[in-house]
Homo-oligomer: A and B are copies of this chain.
Amino acid sequence: MIAVLKQDTSIQQRDSLINWFQSMGLEVHISEGDFHTIIGLIGDTSKVDIGLLESLSIIESVKRISEPFKNANRKFHAEDSIIDVNGNKIGGGHFQIIAGPCSVENHDQIIEIAQRVKASGATILRGGAFKPRTSPYDFQGLKADGIELLLEAKKLTGMPIISEIMNIKDLELFEEVDIIQVGARNMQNFDLLKELGRTKKNILIKRGLANNLKELLMSTEYIMAGGNENVILCERGIRTFETYTRNTLDLSAVPMLHELSHLPVVVDPSHATGLSRLVEPMAMAAAAAGADGLMIEVHNNPEKALCDGAQSLTPDQFDSVAKKVMKVREAVTL
């Protein structure tokens, strides 16, 4: 960690600061310049509260050299982590496609979609039971009944399932859910993360709309510090000024996260773009960028012919996407 002192810092203030650092067991190196004094801190600086330090009147700026995340950090864990979801491995060269509807609606819908996406190569079934919606007047999901329907689909197809949790009081409903999803809006719901850290469940955590990669990795730290290392990262688009797409998919996050962390990285092109016709090119691009998996929305709604071009792909469209993604994967990994 480096702290830069302001020009007008007195010797007394400087020494007081240095004593404070030394009292925390840190080694202190000083470089004096005409306009600034630079203090280099060597040792375990992960416990130094950078907010407190920055707030001191004598401090011009502070820079962390070591990343503040430990458990997710590749520096201390060089090999890729592999998350095993009922035999379907993610990470370390293993790639899985998660597919299914945005919301679980009824028995026939989830069963038919599950069978269709499985036939096309998806290995994990997604389906929303608890739905975070901007408006309280929009459909909020089938809740416990939605989880029940997912479990039926799991039983029938053998596919492991993933679903989003919004409230820790619902945790027991997720006992047989194979991956618990933390949505983008809850990425910094720290109480939820802490509770999930006490379980041994697989957790897929989505990057928040306005969160940088460091914050995403700090949020995994809340889970991992509790003892649960089964974490999958998910890039799903960030908020920018561009309006043609719902969000801006940040694919450079994939290799960057792989550099920073050993955790697997999955990409959700459906939510990132909000446009079904962009899912195919973005899914292929994500695979080419080195993603360890994809999460894609697929819907089948024969009675509503109007819905054929939803953000969700139809099963036929998904079949085409899955085939093309696999061709890209081959080109990339051979």
Contact = CB atoms under 8 A, between A and B. Distances in A.
Point out which of A38, A47, A166, A253 has the most chain B C-beta atoms below 10 A from its C-beta: A38
A73 to B, nearest CB: 10
Given A46-B137, A245-B252, A252-B249, A58 B190 contact: no
A285 interface: yes
Number of copies: 4
A244 B256 contact: yes
A23 interface: no
B244 A63 contact: no
A256 to B, nearest CB: 5
Category for how many chain A residues contact B: 35 or more
Contacts of A256: 244-245, 278
A313 to B, nearest CB: 11
A311 B278 CA distance: 29
Contacts of A135: 68, 218, 221
Contacts of A51: 138, 311
A63 B288 contact: no
A255 B282 contact: yes
